[in-house]
């Protein structure tokens, strides 16, 4: 039976080019990139190519890209580096109230252990974020502003560019970090026009393997080393590099870059069909905004707990998620912030699309939800 994978915000299937490149590195470029012989050089070249591709995608210099093990490591590196370098006198950090755990938990640590003041900006009653709310919260005492570009649970798009641009104009000392994990390769992102000092991205959300991420760190911004050891990543992260994963990351980016606009259009069409079909089901409420990322659609199916519906759909080979994959079922509070009641928040399912999905996936999902609503209610 065909599987309908609609959980692409949790992770994606690696693309053929990425798999091929990883295998090629495992079998042919297996040298240590720090070795001085030809086998080492081949591995070094595979890594350099990937760095160049990712740098170009972000409009950055190759030296501004640091490979990490995942975006969680990238966000930790950005946030902890900033407070180490700039946070001794400036003790305030501004963020949104809907960040992913990798940012949220790091900030909670900084609040609890190091006494930083964390200001979490909420959207208005319609779930819309306004740039002024972030800008007005900033002051001389602020060392960092960190914002996601696309929310991983609902697809809401945050006004990162206008916030960062204004912040840099008024308070050039404030460091800006963008968690672009759910936006990279879905929207064109250029570090300079975004006015970002740091950008975190992840391989496995863009059809590269798991275990690889990257941090863009603007030339001149201070970075702290957390993994001490060899001189890898220009002395910024010790440890032998995972050449197969790094090279595969570059191959995935290379493949996706030319199709950002066409994939966006295609996925927007699927999203539209999905919305239309869902709107014919009674009581179902769509939490994601029309102007959000088309790749994520959060839906409330009243009176049916998310996990129950998730497993019902799983029984029909349809895979969705009950909110953020990282919260493993524990409520993140994000649906409530975007307007769901407490009760509704227990009934959210997240459908997340990619260019490999098709209308059959959408039909299988909607008919699964429809029959699930009837069957589960009558149990
Ligand atoms: N930020 C966002 C918005 C995410 O959706 C995720 C993963 O779900 C992360 C950060 C963490 O990425 P990784 O799994 O590469 O650590």
Tell me the per-residue pLDDT of 215-260, one tens digit each, with 9 for 90 and over. 999 999 999 999 999 999 999 999 999 999 999 999 999 999 999 9
Structural domains of the chain, ranges and CATH numbers in brackets:
4-13+259-377 (3.90.1150.10)
Per residue in 111-166, pLDDT tens?
Answer: 999 999 999 999 999 999 999 999 999 999 999 999 999 999 999 999 999 999 99
Is the pTM value of this prediction over 0.85? yes
Is the minimum distance from the CB of 245 to ligand 1 under 6 angstroms?
A: no
3-state secondary structure of 161: helix
The answer to whether residue 178 is catalytic is: no
Q: What is the 369 CA–ligand 1 centroid distance (Å)? A: 27
CA distance 308 to 84: 44
What is the DSSP code (8-state) at residue 158?
Answer: P
Q: Return the bridge partners of 184, or none.
A: 187
**Complete edge-to-edge strand list for the sheet that includes strand 285-286:** 285-286, 296-300, 348-352
Residue 72 alpha carbon, nearest atom of ligand 1: 16
The protein residue with its alpha carbon nearest to ligand 1, atom 13, reads 71
Nearest Cα to Cα of residue 246 among 34, 6, 44, 31: 44
306 Cβ closer than 6 Å to some ligand 1 atom: no
Rounded Cα–Cα distance for residues 213 and 143 (Å): 25
């Amino acid at each position: 039976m065909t599987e309908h994978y609609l959980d692409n915000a949790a992770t994606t299937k690696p693309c053929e080019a990425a798999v091929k490149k990883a295998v090629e590195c495992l079998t042919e470029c297996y040298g240590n990139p720090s070795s001085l012989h030809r086998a080492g050089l081949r591995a070094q070249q595979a890594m350099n190519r990937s760095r160049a591709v990712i740098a170009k995608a972000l409009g950055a210099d190759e030296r501004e890209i640091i490979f990490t093990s995942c975006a969680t490591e990238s966000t930790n590196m950005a946030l902890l580096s900033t407070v180490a370098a700039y946070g001794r006198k400036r003790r305030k950090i501004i963020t949104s109230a809907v960040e992913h755990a990798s940012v949220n938990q790091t900030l909670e640590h900084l609040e609890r252990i190091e006494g930083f003041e964390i200001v979490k900006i909420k959207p208005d009653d319609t779930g819309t974020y306004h740039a002024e709310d972030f800008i007005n919260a900033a002051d001389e005492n602020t060392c960092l502003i960190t914002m996601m570009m696309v929310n991983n649970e609902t697809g809401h798009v945050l006004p990162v560019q206008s916030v960062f641009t204004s912040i840099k104009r008024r308070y050039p000392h404030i460091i800006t970090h963008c968690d672009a994990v759910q936006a990279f390769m879905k929207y064109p992102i250029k570090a300079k026009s975004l006015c970002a000092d740091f950008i975190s991205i992840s391989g496995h959300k863009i059809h590269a393997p798991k275990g690889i991420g990257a941090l863009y760190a603007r030339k001149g911004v201070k970075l702290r080393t957390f993994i001490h050891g060899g001189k890898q990543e220009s002395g910024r992260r010790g440890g032998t590099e995972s050449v197969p994963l790094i090279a595969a990351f570059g191959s995935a980016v290379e493949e996706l870059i030319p199709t950002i606009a066409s994939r966006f259009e295609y996925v927007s069409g699927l999203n539209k069909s999905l919305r239309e079909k869902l709107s014919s089901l009674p009581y179902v409420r769509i939490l994601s905004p029309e102007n959000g990322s088309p790749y994520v659609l959060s839906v409330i199916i009243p009176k049916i707990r998310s996990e129950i519906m998730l497993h019902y759909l799983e029984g029909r080979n349809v895979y969705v998620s009950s909110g953020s994959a990282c919260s493993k079922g524990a409520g993140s509070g994000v649906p409530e912030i975007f307007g769901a009641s407490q009760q509704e928040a227990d009934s959210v399912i997240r459908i997340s699309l990619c260019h490999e999905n098709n209308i059959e996936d959408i039909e299988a999902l909607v008919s699964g939800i429809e029959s699930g609503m009837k069957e589960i209610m009558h149990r």
